[in-house]
Chains A and B, each alone.
Chain A
Amino acid sequence: MDSSPTIWRVETRTRASTAFAVVVVLLVILGFAAPLFLSRGAIRDLFFILTMLVLAQNWNLLAGYAGLVSVGQQAFVGFGGYAMFAAVALWRLDPMPAILLAGVAAFLLGIPTAFFTFRLQGAYFAIGTWVIAEVVRLVMAEWRTLGGGTGTSLPFGAVHHMWGVKSVERLFGVRAPEAGDILAYWLALVLVLVTIGFIYGLLRSKRGLGLAAVRDNLQAARAVGVDPTRMKALVYLAASFLTGLAGALIYIQKGRIAPDAAFSVIDWTAYVIFIVVIGGIGTIEGPIVGVIVFFILQNTLADYGSWYLMLLGLISVGVMLFAPRGLWGLFADRTGIQLFPIRRSLRSGPTIRTSKGV
């Protein structure tokens, strides 16, 4: 009889994900080096893609994992933008710390928002978040020192003197506006990595298991000691913080803010929902696929204006009806490939040889 014990391990890794990890490292290095060989226009496009990806990952975390379908994420984008503007234009802070401050401001806004909207269930939660976003928009439109309803611009040169711009200017031999773009792009890249890293880490942790349990069966999750409200609040506040950071970063690059655009439900929530739904809700890969599809569609069809939006709406309705797990879902079902695996599987390790030998 072989008495040597088999070591069982709980793993989430798959062969594809291990190979993918190597690809990710290469992509990240390539991403940081991109300003060396890409034009300013391409860097701006990448910036747009990355910031939309941050918004999409956060919305996906809320809707796809925590069951919190928010139609009011523009509240945090706009509030983050306004907080950054206030810090830079009124309190003369450097834009870099102002972005962090904006994240904190969005986090703080998330607390009363959650307090109100968590009283509403399911679908009503969705419209509740929209009401809050409208309230924040109307209040910001009354902030006269920041331009009221017509909005305002960042003080001239604020971004040009941002921390790090001088070094980028020297490093790449470019002028301040382009250096500002490069810096904003790098920040967006860092924000994407932090967001995906945070979400992936959360989903793989014990809390992530709790989250999945709450989503799949509330009663059963409660019975084994998961506090659903606590879990949801945690996720909601984290998403508020990250969305606020993204909002501040977007408005660093835009350089001009006005309430109607900053709190636009189309720009910051509808597009984001389309990205996640088309890519595949409830996966980390989905929003990445979605944002690429979205960018291609926008570049080819944006000249058609409202036809384009209509088409986007029709596509997402079609996807939701006929392929509710999106493009990535279709792909993963056929190939079984998971790049960010979170499913735990039990594997036996190599049997340990005892001194008796086998």
Chain B
Amino acid sequence: MIWLDTIVQGVLLGGLYALFAAGLSLVFGIMRLVNLAHGDLIVLAAFLILVLVTALGLNPFLAALVALPIMFVAGWLLQFFVFNRTLGDDILPPLLVTFGLSIVIQNGLLETFSADSRRIGTGALANQSVSLGGVHVGLMPLLTFLSAIAVIVALNQLFYRTALGRAFRATSDDAVTAGLMGVEPKRLFATATGIAMIVVTIAALYLGTRANFDPSIGPARLIYAFEAVIIGGLGSFWGTLFGGMIIGVAQTFGAAFNPAWQILAGHIAFLLVLLVRPRGLFPRAVD
């Protein structure tokens, strides 16, 4: 039964990683931009929610709802005025600009909030659990996992059922031709990053309520997110969820053997997948 428990915990943890990864996957899929500041943006959003909770006394879920439009606008502006200038054939400018931004966000947060560990309190919700076929799971992890599924479903609906999604796919395939059809890539990219920031805010809500966070943990979240995207295969949202679950299960199994191996086990699972399926398990995009 302990094995089943470990697997279930791992799968639920994978939901959190999938939330980290979905925004990264979305932005990469549309404009081939890898945002090295992605993890730090999640931490930034977590601090924003924390501020809303402590300053206004809001419920964390309500605070996240308030943070959503703020982060959307921030993402939109960031893409429109900064990242758009870096897009092109050369991969160097976007990488270096987002890397610089990552350092700026980390140290800005450090200066504003100090290096102390924080946590967004959820009151009684934090300790509640439900029984699923003999396995007790925490309500928050379950909620995280269900949110991850909801986000993946919503992103798939957006991508394949709406005019905006069609424009996303068209621009992803051929930005020049899409431009001729009346799509304005710069605004479209800004919207995409804005949507990614909405996912980031949802991820931040669960990051901040489930565990402690501080300004320095962003890069590690970026790495988990990245591993989930690569394992799943570029361009597939469901693949990203599955990739997150693999990292999660590997980590909980690693931790079951030796707490020091938790993170290492996740990385090794990633390297093994890279070894046997370099393009991921469910690749959709060609590159």
Q: How far is the CA of A305 from the CA of B112 in the complex (A)?
A: 13
Whether the pair A310, B223 counts as a contact (CB closer than 8 A) is no
A134: contacting residue among B96, B100, B106, B223, CB under 8 A: B223
B268 contacts chain A at the CB level, 8 A cutoff = yes
Whether the pair A324, B93 counts as a contact (CB closer than 8 A) is yes
What B residues does A141 contact at CB under 8 A?
260
What A residues does B275 contact at CB under 8 A?
116
A312: contacting residue among B103, B230, B263, CB under 8 A: B103
Whether the pair B107, A281 counts as a contact (CB closer than 8 A) is no
Whether the pair B101, A317 counts as a contact (CB closer than 8 A) is yes
Q: How far is the CA of A131 from the CA of B33 in the complex (A)?
A: 19
B267 contacts chain A at the CB level, 8 A cutoff = yes
Known A119-B274, A127-B226: A142·B260 in contact at CB below 8 Å: yes
Known A270-B103, A324-B93: A310·B226 in contact at CB below 8 Å: no
Q: Beta-carbon contacts of A98-138 to B below 8 Å, as 1s and 0s?
A: 00000000000000000010011111101110110011001
Whether the pair A126, B95 counts as a contact (CB closer than 8 A) is yes
Q: How far is the CA of A281 from the CA of B92 in the complex (A)?
A: 10
Which residues of B215-262 are within 8 A (CB) of A? 219-220, 222-223, 226-227, 230, 260
Whether the pair B92, A313 counts as a contact (CB closer than 8 A) is no
B159 contacts chain A at the CB level, 8 A cutoff = no
Q: How far is the CA of A318 from the CA of B240 in the complex (A)?
A: 33
A306: contacting residue among B34, B107, B270, B274, CB under 8 A: B107
Whether the pair B104, A310 counts as a contact (CB closer than 8 A) is yes
Known A134-B223, A316-B96, A320-B96: A309·B91 in contact at CB below 8 Å: no
A20 contacts chain B at the CB level, 8 A cutoff = no
Q: Provide 27 A-B residue pairs closer than 8 Å at the C-beta atoms, listed in order of the A residue.
A: A63-B92, A67-B91, A69-B91, A69-B95, A122-B91, A123-B32, A123-B91, A124-B34, A124-B226, A127-B36, A127-B222, A131-B223, A131-B227, A134-B223, A134-B267, A265-B219, A270-B103, A307-B111, A309-B106, A310-B107, A310-B111, A312-B103, A314-B104, A317-B82, A317-B96, A320-B93, A321-B93
Lowest 10 A-B CB distances belong to which pairs? Answer: A123-B34, A313-B103, A306-B107, A317-B100, A313-B104, A119-B278, A310-B107, A122-B91, A138-B264, A309-B107
